[in-house]
């Protein structure tokens, strides 16, 4: 359901910025999509509001060791997408234009889901976080899977519908509708506020 304009408590909320990396957001990136680059400014707005309120901002980085999928039984992102955000490459670095040096935490992940085999859940628990404001890219891939995983872990995932990168507009619409319908909430920049 779309959330009301109720302000988020900065002591119980974290902003999760998903995969705003050169590989997706920079024209030279291996999986560049112009809407992901266009999402930099809206994501920056979310981050700035959180910082002004004192809410922590967590960035995720999708990073693949070169041989990650060697010998994979079924799950092989390189087969599906081609090589991308390879460990140690410029592709894998967080994009310029966001204040990443001020991040409360950076999560390195190796799948679509930022909770899968990472320290994200432990970090959120240690910092008393209940609500997640989620933005970033791609809307229907890593954002959607991270938000769904958050909901299954009893966090309140709220996706900022107009601070998302995507390949096709239909993908963004699908992701927002799916979050709203199944496991979380959505909001817009116009309604996003911190107490």
| Domains delineated in the chain | 13-67+74-187 (3.40.50.850)
pLDDT of residue 75: 86
Confidence of residue 83 (pLDDT cuts 50, 70, 90): confident
Render pLDDT for 121-151 as a digit per residue (tens, 0 to 9): 999 999 999 999 999 999 999 999 999 999 9
The pLDDT of residue 167 is above 90: yes
Residues present in the chain in total: 195
d(C-alpha 154, C-alpha 35), whole Å: 30
Instruction: For residues 17 and 106, give the distance between their C-alpha atoms in angstroms, rounded to a whole number.
Output: 9
DSSP state of 164: E
Residue 54, strand partner residues: none
Q: Is the pLDDT of residue 1 over 80?
A: no
* 3 conformational bin, left if phi > 0, alpha if psi -120 to 50, beta if neither: beta
Give 8-39 pLDDT, tens digit per residue: 999 999 999 999 999 999 999 999 999 999 99
| pLDDT above 90 as % of the chain | 89
pLDDT in tens, 28-70: 999 999 999 999 999 999 999 999 999 999 999 999 988 889 8
Question: What pTM was estimated for this model as a whole?
Answer: 0.95
Which SS3 state, helix, strand or coil, does residue 42 take?
helix
Q: What distance in Å separates the CA atoms of residue 165 and residue 22, rounded to the nearest whole number?
A: 13
């Amino acid at each position: 359901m779309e959330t009301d304009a109720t302000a988020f408590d900065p002591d119980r909320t974290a902003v999760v910025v998903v995969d705003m990396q050169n590989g997706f957001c920079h024209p030279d990136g291996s999986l560049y999509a112009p809407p992901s680059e266009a999402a930099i400014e809206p994501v920056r707005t979310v981050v700035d509001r959180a910082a002004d309120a004192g809410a922590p901002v967590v960035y995720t980085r999708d990073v693949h060791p070169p041989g990650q999928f060697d010998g994979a039984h079924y799950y092989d992102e390189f087969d599906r997408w081609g090589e991308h955000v390879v460990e140690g490459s410029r592709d894998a670095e967080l994009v310029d234009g966001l204040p990443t040096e001020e991040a409360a935490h950076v999560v390195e992940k190796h799948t679509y889901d930022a909770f899968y085999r990472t320290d994200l859940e432990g970090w959120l628990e240690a910092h008393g976080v209940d609500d997640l404001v989620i933005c970033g890219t791609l809307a229907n891939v890593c954002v959607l899977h991270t938000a769904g995983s958050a909901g299954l872990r009893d966090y309140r995932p709220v996706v900022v519908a107009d601070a998302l990168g995507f390949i096709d507009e239909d993908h963004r619409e699908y992701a927002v509708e799916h979050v709203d319908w199944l496991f979380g909430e959505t909001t817009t920049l116009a309604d996003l506020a911190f107490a």
